[in-house]
Each structure stands twice: as C-alpha cells, then as structure tokens.
Amino acid sequence: MLKIITNKLSIKVSFFVNTLILIVMVAGTYALVKQQSKSLDQQVMDRVKIQSAIGAKMIGKIIEEAIDNGVFSVKDAFDTNYQEIGNFNPPKYHTKYDFYLDKSILSISDEFLIDDSVVFAVAVDKNGYLPTHNTRYQKPITGDVEKDKVGNRTKRIFDDAVGLKAAQNLEKGFIQIYHRDTGVTMWDVSSPIFVKGKHWGGFRIGLSLIKINKLKKDLIVSLGLIIFVILMISTVSSFFVINEALGILRKLTQRATTLSLGQNLNQPIPNTRTDELGELEKVLERIRQSFLIIFKRNKKL
C-alpha cells in the first residue's frame, strides 16, 4: 500500500516539476525566438543593404566607363526622352543607353540572384525607368497581359510610390515594403547610383518575405524540437530521481513503523546518505537505540 502511495506521489511531484519547467522553457523560448527573429531580420537587412550599395557602385562605374570610352555622352546617359516600343501593356521604352546596359550589366545584376532570398536586383533611373531587368524577367512576350506582367518586366517605368522613392533615394540601404503589381509583397532595399558625381537613379533589390518567414519558421521548429527533447529527458530523469528518493523514504517509513511496534530493534539503521534523507537515517538510528535501551530496561524489570 505504501509503495502504491509513494509511486503516485512521485508521479504527481514529477508532473508538477516538469509543468513548471515547461512554463519556464516556453516563456524563455518565446523570448529567444523573438530576439533571434529580430536578429535574423537585422542580419538579412544588413547583408542586403551592403549588396545594394555594391550594386549601385558597380552600375555607376559601368556607365562612367561607357562615357569615358565614348560609347555615349553624359547627356545620353541621363536621357529621359523615353521612346515607346510597340503596343505593350504596361508600356515599354527605349533610351539612348539601354541597349548598352543590356549587354554590360545583365550578368552582373543576375549574380545577386544567387542568393535565393533575392527576387530581383535592378538599376533604375530617377524616374523609375528600368532599362535592363534580370534574365528571369525577360521571358518572350506571350500576349497574355497577366503572364507577361510576371515574365517580362524589362524596359518599363516603375513610377509607383515605392518605385519613385527607391529611384530618387539618396540613402544607402533604404528599406521599404513593396507591394508588387504581381500580388507579391517583399522588402525593397535601394542605394543611389551616381554617374560623374550626379545622381542617376538607384539600385533596387527585392527581398522575399516568404524566404525570411521560412527561416523564422525553421528557427521556431528547431527550438520547439529542442524543447521537446529536453522536456522528455527531464520528465524521465526527474521521475526516476524522485521515485528513487521516495523509495528510500518509503524504506525509512517502513523501518519507523517496525520500530514503533518494537520490532527489529537489534538491527542497526545504516547511514548511507549525506543529504536530508541521511539526516533522517541518523534520527531513526537514534530512535532505534533509545527504543532498544528502553526495551532492555523493561526486560530487566
């Protein structure tokens, strides 16, 4: 009966202890996830800010070299006399420099897309004109407006509020939320492009929120699995530790019962522990010795 009671008690104590551990761990994990998510956002943003600044510097240098090599003049580099191409929806345009940029900056811009969280990386002039989009957005025209809106986005003027702010921005790593006309929402990070000391436009990088959120989700799952494993180990180990301690207590209780009945008085109670249970062993041993003395006196009488 005593064994059943102590087993139930060990289960209750183990449950109570592990419930407290779970609460503490969940609270700690929530704080950790929040901190790590913020840190992850910051790390990604810092990386993309640097990428946008590098892209802007490279594009500016390429345009300046074209001017220095007589490919086109400074005036041509800042051409805003956009010549409409065909009858596209949305409209597409040529400038005096776009053919050259198609050959000189396309491979460079595509390099930024090696990072799978980057949706696009492009140079736009101050009006939002995009002369050369990434290869993935220069698919053949199909005639389907919605399909072409996604597949062929080059040589368009992106003069929406976000597009113009990015194009006219003078701050390195300027961040905005961009609701793309394809229905996708992302971060837009831009840095200014300067040509011969004059502001030409901006280098824009679109950063996928889906990828960032996936990284956060993976972080939460990883931490959740770690918590689960720790909790399982804690539950099993605490049950055995508590059960062992209560097992010793059960034996001492049984011995105390026999002493109260005057039984086994000649059998010493060994001191096997140095903790509180060890102190209890010493107390029971003193009680046994006292009972033994009383028993012997009564026997003489």
Q: Which of 209, 226, 241 is the last residue in one of the domains?
A: 209
Contacts of 165 (CB under 8 A, 6+ apart): 174, 176
Q: What is the model's pLDDT at position 270? A: 77
The arithmetic mean of pLDDT across residues 46-64, rounded, is: 95
Whether the predicted pLDDT of 17 surpasses 70: no
Residue ranges of alpha helices (H) inside the chain are 2-68, 74-77, 98-104, 106-111, 145-151, 161-168, 209-260, 276-300
Q: Which of 209, 243, 267 is the last residue in one of the domains?
A: 209
Closest CA to 178 of 158, 194, 192, 151: 158
Q: Alpha carbon 86 to chain centroid distance?
A: 46
Residue 121's CATH number: 3.30.450.20
Question: Do residues 96 and 191 both lie within one domain?
Answer: yes
Q: CA 297, CA 295: separation in Å to the nearest integer?
A: 6
Summarised one tens digit per residue, pLDDT across range 163-180 is 999 999 999 999 999 999
Range of the domain at 160: 42-209
Q: What is the model's pLDDT at position 166? A: 97
Whether the predicted pLDDT of 44 surpasses 90: no
Question: Do residues 64 and 129 both lie within one domain?
Answer: yes
Question: Do residues 195 and 247 both lie within one domain?
Answer: no
Question: Do residues 8 and 99 both lie within one domain?
Answer: no
Highest mean pLDDT out of 94-103, 110-119, 276-285, 290-299 = 94-103
Q: CA 226, CA 247: separation in Å to the nearest integer?
A: 31
Question: Do residues 155 and 229 both lie within one domain?
Answer: no
Question: Do residues 80 and 173 both lie within one domain?
Answer: yes
Percent of the chain with pLDDT over 70: 74
Question: Do residues 50 and 180 both lie within one domain?
Answer: yes
Number of domains making up the chain: 2
Asked whether residue 37 is domain-assigned, the answer is: no
Q: What is the model's pLDDT at position 246? A: 65
In this structure, of 43-52, 175-184, 200-209, 263-272, the range with the lowest mean pLDDT score is 263-272
Whether the predicted pLDDT of 290 surpasses 70: yes
Q: Alpha carbon 129 to chain centroid distance?
A: 35
Q: Which of 192, 209, 226 is the last residue in one of the domains?
A: 209
The arithmetic mean of pLDDT across residues 71-75, rounded, is: 96
Q: What is the mean pLDDT of the chain?
A: 83
Question: Do residues 268 and 177 both lie within one domain?
Answer: no
* Residue 193 vs residue 21, higher pLDDT: 193
Do residues 196 and 64 touch, judged by C-beta distance below 8 A? yes
Q: CA 155, CA 100: separation in Å to the nearest integer?
A: 13
Asked whether residue 82 is domain-assigned, the answer is: yes
Whether the predicted pLDDT of 162 surpasses 90: yes
Question: Do residues 195 and 280 both lie within one domain?
Answer: no
Question: Do residues 170 and 255 both lie within one domain?
Answer: no
Summarised one tens digit per residue, pLDDT across range 213-272 is 777 777 777 777 777 777 777 777 766 766 666 666 667 677 667 766 666 667 777 777
Q: Quick check: helix, strand or coil at residue 162?
A: helix
Confidence of residue 5 (pLDDT cuts 50, 70, 90): very low
Q: Quick check: helix, strand or coil at residue 301?
A: coil
Question: Do residues 199 and 60 both lie within one domain?
Answer: yes
Question: Do residues 187 and 46 both lie within one domain?
Answer: yes
Asked whether residue 171 is domain-assigned, the answer is: yes
Contacts of 2 (CB under 8 A, 6+ apart): 250, 253, 254
Asked whether residue 163 is domain-assigned, the answer is: yes
Q: What is the model's pLDDT at position 287? A: 75
Whether the predicted pLDDT of 86 surpasses 80: yes
